[in-house]
Amino acid sequence: MTTLDLRSAIAEALERSRNRSTLLTDAVDDDDLVRQHSKLMSPLVWDLAHIGNQEELWLVRDVGGRDPVRQDIDELYDAFQHPRAERPALPLLNPVEARTYVREVRDKVFDVLDRTPLEGRRLVENGFAFGMIVQHEQQHDETMLATHQLRKGAPVLHAPNPPAAPAERLPAEVFVPGGPFEMGTSLEPWALDNERPAHQVHVDSYWIDTTPVSNGQYLAFMDAGGYDDPRWWSERGWAYRNEAKLTAPRFWQRDGDGWLRTRFGVVEPIPPDEPVVHVCYFEAEAYAAWAGKRLPTEPEWEKAARFDPETGRSRRYPWGDEDPTPEHANLGQLHLRPAPVGAYPLGQSPLGVRQLIGDVWEWLDSGFQPYPGFKAFPYREYSEVFFGGDYKMLRGGSFGTDKAAVRGTFRNWDHPIRRQIFAGFRCARDHRRD
């Protein structure tokens, strides 16, 4: 890619991210922007100004060497200084000020992009700093989308439904042969520090579900009394189930003998063929035990997603090395729901596993740990401070994840009790040799 092409690609990614941020913040009035819709989330106006502040810190001041735009607000928008529950009480920029601020920062960023050599310094090599900021904005856009899901009131976001699944009979599981494969990356230009470096990992043979677990399958677990039977729950999971009084995925509600869900302000029947979403790790773990299976580990998920048995190499994505398109995966908020299980045949892995990218983040039975040879870059607070904490891994992205913020190596993590995120799961099991 030439320098001109790289600058153009960066500019397009920056514009796509900002257009999405604008959509998510312009969809509601100023009262909704400053309101905290859940103590789990920041006010939308905090997210917007935080996006601009991170962009100013890294691109305007560091990469561009320019004078600060609003140095006086750095502490207000430092995510480590103020827990989300406390942010509404801060003297935040109001909606007009926040929009003015992010626009001023972005104007300076495009000037920096035009004038900065994209080489000679690791932070700017291949446009890394710009890619890091694109991913940061898109991650907050997905967070803001989750805030919209928590918001009460009439629907304000609209999108067409995703494509239907092809009329074909898929196997319930796919066999993944044991052996080594390359996990992580040392080559992906915009890969973040926790994805690096590439390294060999041995995985024993196993079976993995062809598709994520569907609402219909999860309803069978519920109908069988799964939420009331401690046999299926880990000790910690059962304790949380009782503490939180879990009886169904978040945003579901009883309707006579059936169930409804609320999706971005729309109350609708549960679609049985969609992947289940808004379940925590403990619910996924319990379902898997009830089904006689388990959750995949992080290496198992990545091998199923990337390993090509014909060549022995690991791909960037399940379908190959080309960037995602709408034919490969349900990404980028193009649809405000997961696609039916079995959709996106062009996005399947070499082994035949589907919907590993997009639709729902997938809970995995692994904690967040560094890879061998890990080096924090460009700052410890992105990954290193979270290693070894009370987290479970999530892989693959959701319908709310942008293509810039997901790939076969991208790693996400969260507390195992989280349910507001767009997370589901698929199951795996050991390969038993006769």
- Kindly report, residue by residue over 65-115, the tens digit of the pLDDT: 999 999 999 999 999 999 999 999 999 999 999 999 999 999 999 999 999
HSE-up of 309 (CA within 13 Å, CB side)? 11
DSSP-derived secondary structure letter, 154: S
Taking each helix axis from N to C end, the angle separating 44-55 and 3-26, rounded to the nearest 10 degrees, works out to 160
Residue 286 pLDDT grade (very low, low, confident, very high; cuts 50, 70, 90): very high
Pure H helices in 257-336? 281-290, 298-306
Which pLDDT score, from 0 to 100, does residue 1 have?
Answer: 81
Measured CA to CA, the distance from residue 359 to residue 165 in angstroms comes to 13
> Between residues 18 and 2, which one has the greater pLDDT?
18
Across 39-43, 254-258, 421-425, 430-434, least confident range: 430-434
Q: What are the phi and psi torsion angles at 147 (to 5°)? A: -65, -40
Average pLDDT of the segment spanning 259-269: 98
Residue 432 pLDDT grade (very low, low, confident, very high; cuts 50, 70, 90): confident
- Residue 85 is assigned to a ligand binding site: yes
User: In this predicted model, what pLDDT tens digit does every residue of 312-351 receive, in sequence order?
Assistant: 999 999 999 999 999 999 999 999 999 999 999 999 999 9
Token duo for residue 282: 């403990």
pTM to 2 decimal places: 0.97
Measured CA to CA, the distance from residue 34 to residue 95 in angstroms comes to 8
- Residue 50 is assigned to a ligand binding site: yes
Q: Is the CB of residue 339 less than 8 Å from the CB of residue 359?
A: yes
- Residue 87 is assigned to a ligand binding site: yes
User: In this predicted model, what pLDDT tens digit does every residue of 381-410 receive, in sequence order?
Assistant: 999 999 999 999 999 999 999 999 999 999
Pure H helices in 61-176? 95-115, 128-150
* Size of the chain, expressed as the number of residues it contains: 434
Measured CA to CA, the distance from residue 107 to residue 86 in angstroms comes to 31
CA dist 234 to 226, 300, 393, Å?
13, 21, 17
Q: Which run of H or of E encompasses 174? A: strand 173-176
Contacts of 26-32 with C-beta under 8 Å, sequence gap 24+, read 27/148, 27/156, 27/157, 28/151, 28/156, 30/94, 30/95, 32/151, 32/153
Q: What is the CA radius of gyration of the chain?
A: 22
- Residue 20 is assigned to a ligand binding site: no
Which pLDDT score, from 0 to 100, does residue 434 have?
Answer: 56
Token duo for residue 309: 């048995």
Q: What is the mean pLDDT of the chain?
A: 97
- Residue 414 is assigned to a ligand binding site: yes
Q: Is the CB of residue 37 less than 8 Å from the CB of residue 147?
A: yes
Token duo for residue 433: 């040799």
Which pLDDT score, from 0 to 100, does residue 302 have?
Answer: 98
269 DSSP β-pair partners: 260
On the question of pLDDT at 433 being above 90, the answer is no
DSSP-derived secondary structure letter, 317: B
CA dist 95 to 17, 23, 102, 133, 262, Å?
18, 14, 11, 21, 28
Which pLDDT score, from 0 to 100, does residue 80 have?
Answer: 94
Which domains are seen in the chain, by residue range? 3-150 (1.20.120), 160-433 (3.90.1580.10)
- Residue 432 is assigned to a ligand binding site: no
- Residue 418 is assigned to a ligand binding site: yes
Average pLDDT of the segment spanning 154-177: 97
Measured CA to CA, the distance from residue 46 to residue 361 in angstroms comes to 25
